[in-house]
């Protein structure tokens, strides 16, 4: 069966608006988590966020989008998808072909406009709101489809925080099954009162920069961002620059609780194991894990337990959420890009703010930048509703 | 308010806040565990009850772990409410 | 891939003893689904379920309680919209103060697939497709790929959406709904807008031809605002799958919105003016995953070899139904073609 390869990448996060800028921050351990300037909420001053340092108006202007028709989510998605499409050199004809698919993932979607949605949901009679079709979690994918005139299958996943990992998995499977020849897959989420209040109500937001896998971790920071990949079959990508292979993917449901993972990490264990099966790899062949690592009490301990079960002695691992915050539906795609640039440059980036391992598991992430021979990297994304997804990227 | 009346009120509030449609408030025993055994509530419920204590009695609990001790059963809740209520 | 079992919850008598002759009327432009009593759901979970989750559990759980499936694949545009808005209201009403998290946790669209897996302890593949009018189609495509990858497996595939009062309000402001319309004279309207609906249809799908209720031969799903392009792709779909139009039924997603009638008509004519055309939105109202109801109806037509007269748009002398072609579109943007045969 054909190998599925990555021919284009695009990304925007709190640590940069290109892959190069993101890499530079990762190498120099420069976090993007801090005081938000543009996000407007009661918690703006109280909690740290991984905010992208640009106003929605500026994002729109740079992309040449007339204001008031696109949400921040739409614009972040466009920024990243446009980069990936240019990077992979997809032509207008490529995009409009019936065999080019667009697969997104998002949890917030247009609900970044929390106040506007509240007003429209309760408005009587007539509304002049330009956003009436913008609130759904698939609106940003439709926005991209119309912008690029994508001709093939269009889809959006919302499996909470594993959404865009599932989008990439689905995209790779469409190619393997011959249902598409080119796939643009990724995800986006922007800071929103909706998610900030939701996670705050669950009491899992930290009032300090997050400390993934630390025994004293206090919870997660919310971030925002978008990333998209262009995927093609190896035989269709000849002559193109190829970043990496999408070697494996696995998904499972933890079947334990709507918002927390089982103690033994059954779901995470199964998604990692299934990804290895699809990749045809044994656990010891994985050189690095980009962990889900949200820095909540529950995630880091259960993810560690699952890694111990699967690997015995786990390989080097780290959580880039200490740079970007938790970007929810976008996290899987953003961390896919980080895995890909790690492979490309044969280097791994440190986890920040870690001092002491969790007693029960004793696992420590890497805390310094290093160059390393990397053949296979696993990236984990786990979401509410028990949804767990693992992806494996390999050097070509 | 008399302790017994407060107990009854708290039981009614538990049922209402948590949508325990199949539970009759008077069937909740004063010393019956709310979590695990007994009513079988979970971590989301414990936060819902912390919000209930705030909205109904003006009690602010910051640490969910501390909350879990206060929410052991109706007796522990009522004792805490009597000592800490601000409304 | 073959459909083996199905359960359909809708505003009509489709669950349990099926009665498609008597039609329940819409009220204030809405058709609300008839909910069954849920068995086998722990009371602790039931109390937090929104109607979308209850419908999803009601249609899905009986199918997978005794039969193991290798994946739960759900299409839902909105999932628990009502929970979402209740949490939204809390944010505003309590000015982002101390809020209760249950609505937030339940508002994620993957609550339906997640709860089905939780109740049955199913740790297999679990997916939630939310792309509006293509959410259910993508769930079917996902199942099709899963069956190609592992032929000896089977999957629960479903489409679910609920009407929430707030979502209805937003869609009505956007001009998609007209609350003065009813399902009695839905198709005679010459004005834009339609009636709202909801429902859940679930299917067990595998590769076994024996005793199947229907075979899904092809699915095509895409977005386009260009009606000529849609018609061209429909013609291409018909020729690609070499569709014989004898003994064939065309199920149309026509919904009484005058803006979309020409599109449906052009696809009818693309097959041939003599094709028997069946409509269903006077039973269901409009919702993003209504094509899941249409697929259930296709199975019904193949099994019964006839449908009540009120379904038919035109005169017909169909005595045998061997295949069904479905065309549905959502809000003029999302289009899907599905070919089902016996």
What's the number of domains chain C is made of?
2
Task: Show residues of chain C in contact with A142, CB under 8 Å.
Answer: 131-132, 223, 333
Pair of tokens at residue A98: 């019936």
pTM, whole model, 2 decimals?
Answer: 0.95
Look at the block and give the residue holding tokens 């929410």: B71
The mean pLDDT of C54-71, rounded to a whole number, is 96
pLDDT digits (tens, 9 = 90+) for B29-87: 999 888 877 777 888 888 889 989 999 999 988 777 788 889 999 999 999 999 999 98
- Domain, as residue range, for C322: 214-341
What's the number of domains chain A is made of?
1
Whether residue C88 is found in the same domain as residue C112: yes
pLDDT digits (tens, 9 = 90+) for C289-326: 999 999 999 999 999 999 999 999 998 888 899 999 99
Q: What is the largest CA-CA distance in chain B?
A: 31
Task: Return the pLDDT at A67.
Answer: 65
Cα–Cα distances in angstroms (integers) from residue C330 to residues A72, C127, C136, C221, in the given order: 25, 22, 12, 11
- Report whether A292 contacts A271 (CB < 8 A): no
* Contacts (Cβ under 8 Å, ≥6 apart) of A24: A16, A30
Q: Which residues pair with A227 in a beta bridge?
A: A11, A187
- Of A99, A90, A91, A102, residue with least CA distance to C236: A99
Q: Which residues pair with B3 in a beta bridge?
A: none
Spatial distance between the Cα atoms of C6 and A176, rounded to a whole number of angstroms: 29
Q: Which chain B residue has the Cα nearest residue C104? A: B44
Q: Does B1 touch chain A (CB under 8 A)?
A: no
Whether residue C306 is found in the same domain as residue C266: yes
Q: Does B47 touch chain A (CB under 8 A)?
A: yes
| DSSP type of residue C179 | T
Tell which of C173, C206, C239 closes a domain. C206
Please report, for the domain that includes residue B29, its CATH number.
1.10.1200.10
Spatial distance between the Cα atoms of C7 and C307, rounded to a whole number of angstroms: 18
pLDDT grade for C81, boundaries at 50, 70 and 90? confident
- Of A37, A127, A58, residue with least CA distance to C173: A127
Q: Which chain B residue has the Cα nearest residue A204? A: B64
Q: Which residues pair with A388 in a beta bridge?
A: A252, A382
How would you classify the pairing of strands A100-105 and A154-157? parallel
The mean pLDDT of C211-231, rounded to a whole number, is 97
First CA to last CA across chain A, in angstroms? 16
Q: Does C48 touch chain B (CB under 8 A)?
A: yes
- Report whether C29 contacts C180 (CB < 8 A): yes
Whether residue C244 is found in the same domain as residue C198: no
Average pLDDT over all residues of chain C: 94
Q: Which of residues 10-49 of C touch A (CB under 8 A)?
A: none
H, E, C per residue of chain B: CCHHHHHHHHHHHHHHHCCCCCCCHHHCCCCCCCECCCCCECHHHHHHHHHHHHHHHCCCCCCHHHHHHHCCCHHHHHHHHHHHCCC
The mean pLDDT of C18-27, rounded to a whole number, is 96
Buried/exposed C318-342: b ≥16 CB within 10 Å, e otherwise: beebebbbbbbbbbbbbbbbbbbbb
Q: Does C239 touch chain B (CB under 8 A)?
A: no
What's the number of domains chain B is made of?
1
Task: Return the pLDDT at C47.
Answer: 82
Which of B17, B44, B53 should one mutate to test binding to chain A, selecting the residue with the greatest count of A CBs within 10 A? Answer: B44
Higher pLDDT, C168 or A279: A279
The mean pLDDT of C124-143, rounded to a whole number, is 98
Whether residue C174 is found in the same domain as residue C77: yes
Does the distance separating the beta carbons of A107 and C72 come in below 8 Å? no
Q: In chain A, which residues have pLDDT < 50?
A: none
Task: Show residues of chain B in contact with C82, CB under 8 Å.
Answer: none
Find chains touching chain B: ≥3 CB pairs under 8 Å.
A, C
DSSP code per residue over A285-314: G--EEE------HHHHHHHHHHHHHHHSS-
Whether residue C225 is found in the same domain as residue C311: yes
- Report whether A10 contacts A82 (CB < 8 A): yes
DSSP code per residue over C145-158: HHHHHSTT-EEEEE
Radius of gyration of chain A (CA): 19
Does the distance separating the beta carbons of C145 and A177 come in below 8 Å? yes
Please report, for the domain that includes residue A155, its CATH number.
3.40.47.10
Does the distance separating the beta carbons of A158 and C126 come in below 8 Å? no
Task: Return the pLDDT at A145.
Answer: 98
Which of B51, B52, B63 should one mutate to test binding to chain C, selecting the residue with the greatest count of C CBs within 10 A? Answer: B51
Task: Return the pLDDT at C122.
Answer: 97
- Domain, as residue range, for A257: 4-394
Please report, for the domain that includes residue C253, its CATH number.
3.40.47.10
Minimum-distance CB partner of C170 among A132, A142, A156: A132
Does the distance separating the beta carbons of A257 and B42 come in below 8 Å? yes
- Report whether A365 contacts A213 (CB < 8 A): yes
Task: Return the pLDDT at A114.
Answer: 81
Whether residue C202 is found in the same domain as residue C264: no
Angle of helix C81-93 relative to helix C165-173, nearest 10 degrees, comes to 90
pLDDT digits (tens, 9 = 90+) for C6-21: 999 999 999 999 999 9
How would you classify the pairing of strands C154-161 and C199-206? antiparallel
* Contacts (Cβ under 8 Å, ≥6 apart) of A256: A262, A266, A267, A386, C118
- Domain, as residue range, for B18: 3-84
DSSP code per residue over C95-106: TT-S--SHHHHH
Spatial distance between the Cα atoms of A335 and A226, rounded to a whole number of angstroms: 10
CA distance C87 to chain A (A): 8
Task: Show residues of chain B in contact with C102, CB under 8 Å.
Answer: 44-45, 48
């Amino acid at each position: 069966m054909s190998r599925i390869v990555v021919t284009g990448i695009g990304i925007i996060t709190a640590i940069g608006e290109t892959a190069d800028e993101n890499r530079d921050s990762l190498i120099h351990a420069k976090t993007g988590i801090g005081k938000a300037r543009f996000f407007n909420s009661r918690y703006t001053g109280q909690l740290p966020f991984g905010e992208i340092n640009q106003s929605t108006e500026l994002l729109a202007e740079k992309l040449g989008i007339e204001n008031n028709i696109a949400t921040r989510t739409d614009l972040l998605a466009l920024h990243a998808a446009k980069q990936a499409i240019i990077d992979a050199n997809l032509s207008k004809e490529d995009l409009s072909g019936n065999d080019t698919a667009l697969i997104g993932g998002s949890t917030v979607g247009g609900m970044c406009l929390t106040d506007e949605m509240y007003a429209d949901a309760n408005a009587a009679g007539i509304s002049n709101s330009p956003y009436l079709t913008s609130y759904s979690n698939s609106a940003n994918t439709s926005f991209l489809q119309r912008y690029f005139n994508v001709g093939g299958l269009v889809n959006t996943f919302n499996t909470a925080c594993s959404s865009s990992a599932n989008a990439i998995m689905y995209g790779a499977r469409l190619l393997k099954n011959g249902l598409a020849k080119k796939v643009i897959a990724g995800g986006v989420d922007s800071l929103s009162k909706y998610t900030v209040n939701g996670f705050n109500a669950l009491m899992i937001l930290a009032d300090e920069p997050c400390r993934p896998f630390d025994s004293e971790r206090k919870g997660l920071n919310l971030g925002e961002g978008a990333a998209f990949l262009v995927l093609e079959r190896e035989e269709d990508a000849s002559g193109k620059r190829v970043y990496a292979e999408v070697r494996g993917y696995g998904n499972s449901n933890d079947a334990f609780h709507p918002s927390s993972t089982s103690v033994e990490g059954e779901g995470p264990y199964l998604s990692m194991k299934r990804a290895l099966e699809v990749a045809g790899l044994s656990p010891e062949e994985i050189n690095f894990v980009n962990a889900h690592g949200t820095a909540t009490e529950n995630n880091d301990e259960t993810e560690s337990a699952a890694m111990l079960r699967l690997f015995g002695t786990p390989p080097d691992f780290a959580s880039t959420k200490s740079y970007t915050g938790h970007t929810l539906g976008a996290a899987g795609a953003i961390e896919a890009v980080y895995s890909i640039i790690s492979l490309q440059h044969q280097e791994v980036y440190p986890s920040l703010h870690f001092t002491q391992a969790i007693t029960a598991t004793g696992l420590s992430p890497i805390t310094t930048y290093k160059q390393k021979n990397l053949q296979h990297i696993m990236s984990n994304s786990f979401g509410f509703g028990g949804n767990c997804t693992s992806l494996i990227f390999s050097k070509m | 308010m008399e302790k017994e009346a407060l107990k009854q009120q708290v039981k009614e509030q538990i049922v209402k806040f948590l949508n325990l449609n199949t539970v009759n408030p008077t069937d909740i025993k004063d010393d019956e565990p709310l979590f695990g055994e007994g009513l079988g509530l979970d971590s989301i419920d414990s936060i819902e009850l912390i919000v209930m204590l705030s909205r109904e009695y003006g009690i602010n609990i910051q640490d969910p772990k501390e909350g879990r001790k206060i929410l052991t059963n109706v007796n522990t809740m009522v004792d805490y409410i009597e000592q800490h209520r601000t409304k | 891939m073959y459909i083996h079992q199905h359960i359909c919850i809708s505003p009509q008598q489709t669950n349990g003893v099926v009665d498609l002759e008597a039609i329940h009327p819409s009220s204030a432009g809405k058709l609300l689904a008839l909910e069954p009593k849920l068995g086998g759901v722990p009371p602790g979970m039931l109390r937090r379920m929104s109607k979308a989750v209850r419908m999803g559990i009601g249609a899905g759980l009986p199918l997978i309680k005794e039969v193991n499936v290798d994946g739960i694949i759900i299409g839902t545009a909105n999932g628990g919209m009502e929970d979402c808005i209740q949490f939204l209201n809390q944010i505003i009403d309590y000015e982002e103060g101390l809020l209760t998290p249950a609505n937030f946790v339940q508002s994620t669209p993957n609550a339906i697939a997640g709860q089905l897996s939780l109740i049955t302890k199913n740790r297999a593949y679990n997916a939630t497709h939310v792309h509006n009018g293509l959410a259910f189609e993508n769930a079917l495509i996902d199942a099709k790929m899963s069956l190609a990858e592992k032929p000896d497996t089977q999957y629960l595939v479903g489409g679910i959406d609920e009407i929430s009062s707030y979502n209805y309000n937003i869609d009505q402001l956007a001009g998609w709904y007209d609350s003065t319309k009813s399902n009695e004279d839905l198709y005679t309207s010459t004005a834009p807008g339609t009636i709202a609906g909801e429902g859940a249809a679930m299917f067990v799908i595998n590769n076994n031809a024996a005793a199947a209720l229907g075979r899904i031969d092809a699915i095509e799903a895409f977005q386009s605002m260009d009606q000529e392009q849609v018609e061209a792709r429909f013609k291409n779909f018909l020729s690609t799958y070499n569709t014989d139009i004898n003994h064939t039924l065309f199920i149309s997603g026509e919904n009484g919105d005058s803006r979309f009638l020409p599109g449906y008509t052009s696809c009818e004519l693309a097959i041939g003016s003599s094709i028997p055309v069946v409509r269903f939105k006077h039973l269901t109202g409009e919702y993003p995953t209504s094509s899941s109801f249409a697929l259930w109806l296709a199975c019904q037509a193949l099994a019964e070899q006839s449908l009540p007269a009120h379904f038919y748009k035109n005169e017909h002398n169909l005595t045998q139904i061997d295949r069904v072609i479905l065309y549905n579109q959502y809000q003029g943007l999302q289009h899907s073609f599905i070919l089902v045969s016996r």
